[in-house]
Amino acid sequence: MHLGVSESMRECEYSQISTRSSTPMETPYKKRTPKKRKWEAFPGRNKFYCDGRIMMAKQTGVFYLTLVLILVTCGLFFTFDCPFLALQLTPIIPVIGGVLFLFVLGTLLRTSFSDPGVLPRATPDEAADLERQIDVANGGTGYRPPPRTKEVVINGQTVKLKYCFTCKIFRPPRASHCSLCDNCVERFDHHCPWVGNCVGRRNYRFFYMFILSLSFLTIFIFAFAITHIILLAVSHRSGFLNALKDSPASVLEVVVCFFSVWSIVGLSGFHTYLISSNQTTNEDIKGSWSSKRGKDNYNPYSHGNIFTNCCAALCGPLPPSLIDRRGFIQSDAPQLAPPTNGITMYGATQSQQSHM
């Protein structure tokens, strides 16, 4: 019986607005609006593709550059170096190269296309409730209130939670607002233009796997391109410069890899350090948990040992997306009734009355 009441209460709200049994004048008005998916009304500065399945930042130019660099370099490697190396040395080389390449591409696309852990903005009711609480706390002075913060003690460390004026929420610990994407992101690491997306809680492991595998791939191509050149120079006895002329592709690969390897390997090393100490780039740059801030300053999120930190970051459970991109926008759930009772929920009633 109770089920009947609550279910029909819910059904009633929705069906009342879209029902055909209400005034005929109202029905065409409502029917014409097609059902929109939530990504179409997303307030942040993101781009969506494939009907909401793919989510990226607004500026994606550098991402295409990354993609082109990887594809071209690997393409040249497989076309010009691999046949020679497979014959001269072993066919395992193209196989390993192929596996690395696919892994790099897979992780790159996964990093770029997934939701980094965006926090949805507060509903109007939530925002109003928070505002009320803050006003009460401030004593309702009427001056402009100071920046809103809440303090919370986590594992013995005092952490300040900041209020986000754009999203109208108190940011969870380790979350940060990305000004480029205009979203609050959980466990915000940084906004990476190379992957065209923020790096946060949900895609950090893909990002790390990407830079790690890219380091291996870069070193791999670098090593074998040089091997190719050396073998050419030695076997044909035509000299080093002629070997370079024989295989210009290898030269290009060596140059690209040489300049990339420092930054990519450096970045991998840096992120390995961050993972093992369970810090984000944001925290490290600000020195949030650095011992220089105070003797008792330590990272409250660290699990204590490197192994657990690494496992937690890379193999821990993958949280779901909180923004439900592909869900349909529903007509509003019960809104708080304003003083004139009943008008908010009953769009039907209102238009009914106006038409009548």
Partner 1 sequence: MAETHSLQDLQQPAVSSKVFIQRDYSSGTICRFQTKFPSELESRLDKQQFEETIQTLNNLYAEAEKLGGKSYLEGCLACLTAYTIFLCMETHYEKVLKKIARYIKDQNEKIYAPRGLLLTDPIERGLRVVEVTIFEDRSIGSGR
Residues forming the active site: 192
> Looking at beta carbons only, is 256 or 274 nearer to partner 1?
274
CB of 154 or CB of 285, closer to partner 1: 154
Counting contacts by CB under 8 A, is residue 54 touching partner 1?
A: no
Sign of the dihedral through C-alpha 334, 338, 339, 342: negative
41 binds partner 1 (CB under 8 A): no
Find out whether 192 and 199 touch, Cβ atoms under 8 Å: yes
The beta-carbon contacts of 333-338 under 8 Å, at least 24 apart in sequence, are 333/13, 334/13, 335/124, 335/125, 336/125
The least distance separating partner 1 from the CB of residue 194, rounded to whole angstroms, comes to 20
Q: Which residues pair with 328 in a beta bridge?
A: 37
* Subset of 279-308 contacting partner 1 (CB under 8 A): 300-301, 308
Closest approach, Cβ 162 to partner 1, in A, equals: 13
Least separation in angstroms between CB 243 and partner 1: 36
Which residue's CB is nearer to partner 1, number 66 or number 278?
Answer: 278
Member of 91, 125, 179, 329 binding partner 1 (CB under 8 A): 125
| List 71, 92, 223, 333, residue binding partner 1 (CB under 8 A) | 333
Which residue, 221, 255, 117, 114, is CA-closest to 174? 117
Q: CB 106 → partner 1: shortest distance, Å?
A: 4
Of residues 50, 87, 241, 315, which one binds partner 1 by CB under 8 A? 315
Region binding partner 1 by CB under 8 A among candidate stretches 103-111, 219-227, 237-245, 257-265:
103-111
- CA-based diameter of the chain, in Å? 98
Read out DSSP for 199-212? E-TTTHHHHHHHHH
Complex with partner 1: residue 56 or 345, whichever CB lies closer: 345
Q: Which residue, among 31, 20, 6, 37, has the nearest Cα to 330 in the 3D structure? A: 37
Residue range at the interface with partner 1 (CB under 8 A); choices 38-46, 234-242, 246-254, 329-337 = 329-337
Question: Whose Cβ is closer to partner 1: residue 100's or residue 232's?
Answer: 100
Cα separation, 146 vs 137, in Å, equals: 12
Q: How many angstroms separate the CA atoms of 328 and 316, rounded?
A: 30
Question: What's the closest the beta carbon of residue 83 comes to partner 1, in angstroms?
Answer: 26
Asked if 155 touches partner 1 (CB under 8 A), the answer is yes
User: In terms of CB distance, is 38 or 86 closer to partner 1?
Assistant: 38
Q: Say whether residue 102 binds partner 1 (CB under 8 A).
A: yes
# residues contacting partner 1 (CB under 8 A):
71
Give me the 189-218 binding string for partner 1, x by CB under 8 A, dash otherwise. Answer: ----------------xx--x---------
Binding mask 167-186 for partner 1 (x = CB under 8 A): --xx-xxx-----------x
39 touching partner 1, by CB under 8 A: no
Please give the Cα distance from 273 to 278 (Å, whole number). Answer: 8
Burial class of 93 by CB neighbour count within 10 A (0 to 12, 13 to 18, 19+): buried
Task: Name residues contacting partner 1, limited to 15-34 (CB under 8 A).
Answer: 16, 19, 21-23
| Closest listed residue to residue 267, CA positions, set 190, 186, 175, 177 | 190
Q: Which burial class, exposed, middle or buried, applies to 336 when counting CB atoms under 10 A from its CB (0-12, 13-18, 19+)?
A: exposed
According to CB under 8 A, which residues from 61 to 90 bind partner 1? none
Calculate the alpha carbon distances from 57 to 153, 164, 217 in Å: 34, 20, 26
Which one, of 168, 166, 186, lies nearest residue 176 by Cα? 186
According to CB under 8 A, which one of 152, 223, 234, 285 is a site residue for partner 1?
A: 152
